[in-house]
Amino acid sequence: MSLKSFLAFLIIIPLLLNAGALATRTVISETQAVADSSAPHNAWAALSSTTGHYLNYTVDGKQILLVNTTAASTHGINVTVEKGSFWRSSLGNASFTLAVNKTYILGPFESSRFKQANGQLYVDTNATRGRIVAIRLP
């Protein structure tokens, strides 16, 4: 194998692995809040315990998550916002245990701790019954 082929291999493999990981996550829809007005309703995403979710974290610190829990579990639902790849990621993930049949506001989340290198926010949950949506603050 030539050096050129080897370098091409080293570049392509991480891209393929990263693309596969992103393809499995479900996007969290985002609604833009408007000052002194109403915002159009956006579609909630169903919670997924197998694929996880992502939010395009384009406006740092201006997005909150609304989580509506509808599971019948008596132990609640665990929601984890994964640590990112920037300087405050050493503080770790943010984990929340949410009681069922309620709606919660989570965030905003600081980009230096939670933003991934690809500009996304990763959210994982142990539940499949419930829903999530993001609100971008003005």
**Residue 1, in any domain of the structure:** no
Is the distance from CB of 81 to CB of 123 less than 8 angstroms? yes
Is the distance from CB of 96 to CB of 106 less than 8 angstroms? yes
Q: Residue 79 is part of which domain span? A: 26-136
Give pLDDT, residue 57.
Answer: 84
Give pLDDT, residue 60.
Answer: 75
**Residue 18, in any domain of the structure:** no
**Residue 3, in any domain of the structure:** no
The closest of 110, 129, 132, 131 to 121, measured between CA atoms, is 110
Paired with 16 in beta bridges are none
**Residue 17, in any domain of the structure:** no
**Residue 11, in any domain of the structure:** no
Give pLDDT, residue 37.
Answer: 83
**Residue 21, in any domain of the structure:** no
Give pLDDT, residue 21.
Answer: 47
Give pLDDT, residue 71.
Answer: 65
pLDDT in tens, the chain (138 residues): 666 555 445 555 554 444 444 448 999 999 888 888 887 777 899 999 899 999 998 777 789 999 999 866 667 899 999 999 999 999 999 999 999 889 999 999 999 999 999 999 999 999 888 999 999 988
Query: How many other CB atoms sit within 10 Å of the CB of residue 125?
Result: 22
**Residue 10, in any domain of the structure:** no
Q: Give the count of domains, the chain.
A: 1
Give pLDDT, residue 127.
Answer: 84
**Residue 12, in any domain of the structure:** no
φ, ψ of residue 88 to 5 degrees: the values are: -95, 10
Give pLDDT, residue 45.
Answer: 92
Paired with 67 in beta bridges are 104, 132
